[in-house]
Structure 1
């Protein structure tokens, strides 16, 4: 079993980017507030994500080029497009990192407080101290600077997260008819409904996941001849696991809280609400899954800016370079701002997820063009079915981006 888990490929980074505390928060809020109504959004996001993970990985195997480097090299306005994507994703991921760190530190405090209540009466900023310990530890691990090491650390976190949430689903679950009804497309016609849909897609169909794929495939040392089928299988497994884990989180929140009419605004709200319903053990299990989700996302979020910059510059990532160490150090300091000033980590997190959808149409359009660029792909151009799904993904991304703009306008007009 352990050997099977450790044999998982670069798809583990897709799970790390996709399922973090922001994703857990979105699924928890959606499940407790709307039941399984948004399950169809999760299905489409995971389907399109799996296809795009495969497409970017396949392009890298065929050409040896990475995403942003290829944009800059082959597209007419590719340099501007690549810069917009680089800045947009880095901005969204760094803001998300701030929220992830704040929530993860708060969860550690809450887990300790379940068994040691006195910890909440200490007159110091415990959350900041925990956040500092977490981020310094992660930075020191990053200095190890080897792809295989990053992958194994992520495997541990993701495995704990997956088992925690899936086991929680056996303890608390929704009605089967609710799951079926959730596959029928509909948007909650209430305040915040559009924002939740945009946040769903922003966290599940993440541009960072697709653009980082070529560099991780190259870091793994894969080639088209030896690993073409494995790359496809890895992308499919990643998409299935993202759906299974995310769906389990939504289902647990729906089964435990939706019928009680007890919606939650944050994961931390579940401390007082979920324990009487599911018991202390299930609550602790859910929280360890959430913490693992946060820790598994910190690594990829720290990596994203140097990854994209290296992608743009040369298509090669040097984890031993001064540039890599400097950018990741700045990201660590940036992440501590939220816990230091006591910012609302949940609000930062959901807003950053919404912002993530704005570069998504560019990322999808870019790979759709490159995969069909005869001069580069030659006989390896995609089948019409793959083109059809990528075209649908582009239309979906455009609709969700528009929906995100409307949601943000409504949000800031209320403020």
Structure 2
């Protein structure tokens, strides 16, 4: 009896840490979805750990931007787009451009997310029911409809805390699943070190993956939505230190989980000369070395990643519009129901046309980088305004991080344009 007490106490502490997550859990939900999983697996299978440096830089800049947007919200009481419209000379045009750009990118991502999640569930069912092989298209489409309708209904009854709790469950399952997968396969330590040296693979698809990496890891939606989620959490200026810790923790977890996924793919596929082009290829990442159980574990992690991303992707458009209008999000409004309903129909386009969800997902992540420079520039202008920030002064270190992030975003946007021109 006495021996079990410390174990219970330890489990309670772990549970408290997980449930104690703030808006950072939404950052992980936005960032590590099937888009991130797909990009990391394809990169790991094609280029080993060569793009680890892109992931590291993206996560560092993501942490800086989450911190900056969160602090801005707590110190001014404004949300991002509402603040742009109110305080910047061309803020209205900038805000509208950002809404269109992010919505386009996130809804494209939603197509890929739903397609991959539906295909994963189909593959799980196909393992147990042989007759499904002849009805793949119909089964995948039916699963997609069931998933998106279920999530839409949950959106209509949910509040911030409800979404947060669901995301905590999915993100925790995802993290443990991929870390457990790493126990079966690992890349060579030297390859991990080499991956921190900046290089872009000079092969077809190399630039595309670099842009996709940044598009999924430095997700503009993550930063713009943070003020609203900070307000939804009930945080005030008294929570500045908590907001800082939450930003750092979220950025670190994004790097660790994403890096683990890439490492699993590198260890299982790269050394065998195999590449990922279909959903089943991702599922079979671990089968050669760990059998069916490993495939199940990996499936479970990838599915959790997909489901954890559907909520944020459905939320983003009504959230940005509400931010632009008044700085508050009303999940019970007609506007919210209509916009999320449109997003659900868009999500079904990929499965309905039988598109390859892996290709759709990679392309959608590339589109996400084009609005990123505007999002970084916007917060720099807001923090630099004495009229907006009054007596609060942003530290030199944060400004260095923000300007470095802006330069990085511009370089990656150019890389994305070149990659798309090569692709089409």
Q: Establish whether TM, by shorter chain, passes 0.5.
A: yes
Q: 1:144, CA displacement in angstroms?
A: 1.3
The alpha-carbon distance between structure 1 residues 216 and 273, as it changes in their structure 2 partners (threshold 3 A), is closer
Asked if 1:230 corresponds to 2:242, the answer is: yes
The 8 Å contact of residues 36 and 213 in structure 2, kept in 1 or not, is answered as: yes
* 2:158 is the alignment partner of 1:149: no
Aligned 1:37-116 pairs, distance under 5 A? 37-116=50-129
**Structure 1 range deviating more: 38-47 or 365-374:** 365-374
**C-alpha spacing 1:228/1:273, structure 2 compared with 1 (3 Å):** closer
2:322 to 310, 324, 336: 310
Partner in structure 1 of residue 191 of structure 2: 178
Quote the residue 1:253 is aligned against: 265
Paired with 2:48 and 2:390, the residues of 1 have a C-alpha distance of: 47
The 1:379–1:288 alpha-carbon spacing in structure 2 relative to 1, beyond 3 Å, is same
Q: Distance in 1 between matches of 2:45 and 2:421?
A: 25
**In structure 2, the residue corresponding to 1:269 is in which secondary structure?**
helix
Change (3 A) 1:273 1:62: closer
222, 225, 231: which one aligns with 1:212 = 225
Pick one of 138, 143, 146 that aligns with 1:125.
138
Aligned-partner Cα distance in 2 for 1:268–1:53:
34
Matched residue, 1:360: 372
Indicate which of 289, 299, 309 corresponds to 1:297.
309
**Cα distance in 2 between the residues matched to 1:131 and 1:270:** 19
Rounded to whole Å, the distance in 2 between the matches of 1:273 and 1:12 is: 27
For the residue of structure 1 that corresponds to 2:198, the secondary structure is coil
- Count of paired positions: 411
Aligned ranges 1:263-274 → 2 under 5 Å: 263-272=275-284, 274=286
- Could you say which residue in structure 2 is the equivalent of 1:137? 150
Using the TM superposition, give the Cα deviation of residue 373 of structure 1 relative to its aligned residue in structure 2, in angstroms.
1.2
Rounded to whole Å, the distance in 2 between the matches of 1:78 and 1:270 is: 43
Deviation at 1:123, TM superposition (A): 7.0
- The question of whether the paired residues in 2 share the 8 Å contact of 1:24 and 1:267 is answered with no
One of 316, 327, 337 as aligned partner of 1:325: 337
Q: Which moved more, 1:272-281 or 1:29-38?
A: 272-281
Cα distance between partner residues in 2 of 1:397 and 1:90: 18
SS state at 2:390 partner: helix
Measured in 1, the distance between the counterparts of 2:370 and 2:237 equals 32
**Inter-partner Cα distance in structure 2 for 1:6 and 1:343:** 37
The offset of 1:124, in angstroms, is 6.2
Give me the whole-angstrom Cα distance separating, in 1, the residues matched to 2:321 and 2:282: 39
Which position in structure 2 is the counterpart of 1:28?
A: 41
Q: 2:300 — aligned with what?
A: 288
8 Å contact kept, 1:256–1:278: no
TM-score, length of structure 2 as denominator length: 0.95
- Give distance in 1, aligned partners of 2:283 and 2:374: 40
RMSD: 1.2
CA distance in 2, matches of 1:346, 1:262: 16
Output the CA distance in 1 between the equivalents of 2:130 and 2:76: 57
Q: Output the TM-score relative to the length of structure 1.
A: 0.97
| Separation in structure 1 between the aligned mates of residue 19 and residue 144 of structure 2, nearest angstrom | 28
Question: For residues 137 and 211 of structure 2, what CA distance do their matches in structure 1 show?
Answer: 36
- C-alpha deviation, 1:382, in angstroms: 1.1
Alignment match, 2:214: 201
Matched, 1:338 2:325: no
SS of residue in 1 equivalent to 2:192? helix
Separation in 1, partners of 2:358, 2:263: 20
1:277 paired residue number: 289
Confirm or deny: 8 A CA contact 2:184 2:289 kept in the other structure. Answer: no
Consecutive unaligned residues of structure 2, counting only runs of 5 or more, are 1-13
Are 2:402 and 1:394 aligned? no
1:5-20 maps to which residues of 2 (within 5 A)?
5-20=18-33
- Alignment partners' CA distance in 2, 1:123 and 1:182: 38
Question: In the alignment, which residue of structure 1 is the partner of 2:386?
Answer: 374
Higher alpha-carbon deviation: 388-397 or 329-338:
329-338
How far residue 397 of structure 1 moved from its aligned partner, in angstroms, is: 0.2
Q: CA deviation at 1:293?
A: 0.4
Structure 1 stretches lacking a partner, 5+ long: none
Q: Give, in angstroms, the shift of residue 295 of structure 1.
A: 0.2
Closer, same or farther: CA 386–114 of 1 in aligned 2, 3 Å: same
Which residue of structure 2 aligns with residue 349 of structure 1?
Answer: 361
